[in-house]
Structure 1
Amino acid sequence: MTREPLDASANIDRVLVTGGDGLIGRAVVDHLAARGLDVTVLDIPGTAAPARAAARHITGSVTDPDTVRQAVTGQDAVVHLAGLAGLDRGSAEEIYAGNALGAFLVMEAAGRAGVAKVVYASSINAFGLPLNPDPVLPTHYPWDEDEPAVIADAYSLSKQANEHAAAAISRNYGMELTGIRFPLVRDIYEHDGTVFAQHIRRAMNEDPRRQACEGWTYLDTRDAAASVEAALSRSTPPAPGILVAAPQTYLRQSTEEALARYAPAVPRDSVPGRDIPVSLHRASDLLDFKAEHTLEQISEALLVDLKDINP
């Protein structure tokens, strides 16, 4: 059941965005600033493209308690996006510490400071299957946030830890938290869609099982920002994170054809057309959110043709 929306106009004027100079962060900062919110960014030094729409920048790490405490002071809401996004961003120790400890410190400091709302970045990897070194697949298609976790890597583990931290801190402080399980997020319009098209073709050829686990999902940065706004203004359970994605896959062929090719033994319900084999019912019911930007809006020629993918 959908809870009553928060009165965002009365409760949220000042927002801290951790990782606000990153890919999703810049889009979120621009989006919230355009809505008239006073946005502060907390990010590490040396970012090539800082978010210019932010009213102020704080330089520092979310793993430093003093920096975090100072940053959350006086904020009405926090959007926590800082972290190491993937296994190629550091050692297992660095990834887990940066993501799990960083999220805990931000949530804990926000609770102590009386912040009204925290929206945090979880991941489609929070259930562990896509990055699992074993050839695992979901138990059923379409799958949703209740799909059992099978985790074997530090990144996925850190994202599940974030969701457990959110539940614990919500119980302790009575604070509103919403996690968003982002899929592959990119600016799909970059260079008329060609950069994203090259990325997904490479991903399909390198690890088609992982892409099948993720349901061939993606999300444009603009929709990622819109999902954050939706989460800021609504009350949800603090965990599990809510899956968001474009409603259709990036494949030219039907989803049924892709499932028959890459997951023939997995039980499934019928999936019409090119709809993703991932349920977005919680995004719809709890956030009233639906992604608007799709690859085929740029050009259908950008979609991945399975005939061009290595068997």
Structure 2
Amino acid sequence: MRSLVRETHLHPGALIYPLFVCEGEGVRKPVSSMPGVFNVSVDEAVKEMEECASLGIGGVLLFGLPESKDEVGTGAYADDGIVQRALRAMKASPASKKLVLIGDVCLCEYTSHGHCGIVTRQGDDFGVENDPTLELLAKTAVSQALAGADIVAPSDMMDGRVAAIRAALDKHGFSGTPVMSYAAKFASAFYGPFREAADSAPQFGDRRTYQMDGANLREAMREIEQDISEGADMLLMKPAMPYLDVIREARNRFDLPMGAYQVSGEYSMMHAAFERGWLEPERTMLESLLCLRRGGADFIVTYFAKDAAKLL
């Protein structure tokens, strides 16, 4: 009877599994701060995608760890970039027809300084240049679409990036490729383990000049409105559980498909409690995901996706 009258449901098709793709072959390098998460080479990433497809998971979200980095993040938009190669290999597998392949569009994993855009420096001061970065983000999105991405997901938080990406995709014949904007991405302490996984920690300064202030709900709504006006097809909120009020407010205001990213810090702190026997793993994991669906998320990016799908 409880199942019959349940108001909110979890299902594998509403889950997206992040993958960190690195150079090499047969590589499965554990991420020490994220139990069960690995840096994987392209061949292993294909296997991961095929497992996700067999579990009925809705999609995979690809992040790249390039062999080398430079000041302008060339590896992000190179034709033979690590994510581009992974997308082509995945598209060659029949399993790719059972889920969506999403490319994360950002420069931070590919820049030598670890910031999400072009950096200018003057003595000890530095600035992340918004407008010059837009062209590189647009190039990255097009290169991923050419390689087979079903969705491109800009996570950089530069103003105007959705419009630049939409225009570039349309110009190159990808008018049907959706843009899933990280529309409200906050400068959060909960990203720490991810920066180990993606090797993307800033080498100086921080990202508070372009990621959002966690105190500002109304500003988040303005950021979302701006992305929608520029042509965003889907929205992604990040982090998830510490910002449930933002997710709910966005759901009340906007009708676009909207997801929540249960970020690395959320995942890692739960695992720390599991290892100490403080929380029951299966119930805690599913409850943490259910609260995001109840809060208004249509889909969830989560490192729990495979484990949750097996239970569901």
For the superposition of Structure 1 and Structure 2, which TM-score range results when normalised by the shorter chain?
0.3 to 0.5
Larger strand proportion, structure 1 or 2?
2
Q: TM-score, normalised by structure 2?
A: 0.37
